[in-house]
Amino acid sequence: MGELSKLPNIGKTVEEQLIKVGINTPDELRTVGAKTAWLKIQEIDESACINRLMALEGAIRGIKKTILDEEVKADLKEFYQWKKK
């Protein structure tokens, strides 16, 4: 496993997906952002859900997804619902 899997919430599978969509380092993930990274993953894995989106945001912030601020969670949920329409 590489650099990405050292981030919180990022396991082997998500790391492999990130690399597959061209995001190879934590800095690249931070630059792209959770929403864009999730959209890219969604293109190769339609099962990517809200939990993956929150995991990516948590990884960028260096925290577990479960402790994201409620405001951040609400924003991500709104984005997810918009995308699912």
> Structural domains in the chain?
4-84 (1.10.150.20)
What's the pLDDT tens digit per position in 28-66?
999 999 999 999 999 999 999 999 999 999 999 999 999
The pLDDT value recorded for residue 74 is 98
> What DSSP assignment string belongs to the chain?
--SGGGSTT--HHHHHHHHHTT--SHHHHHHH-HHHHHHHHHHH-TT--HHHHHHHHHHHHTS-GGGS-HHHHHHHHHHHHHHH-
The pLDDT value recorded for residue 72 is 98
* Residue percentage of the chain with pLDDT more than 90: 94
Confidence band for 84, pLDDT divided at 50, 70 and 90: confident
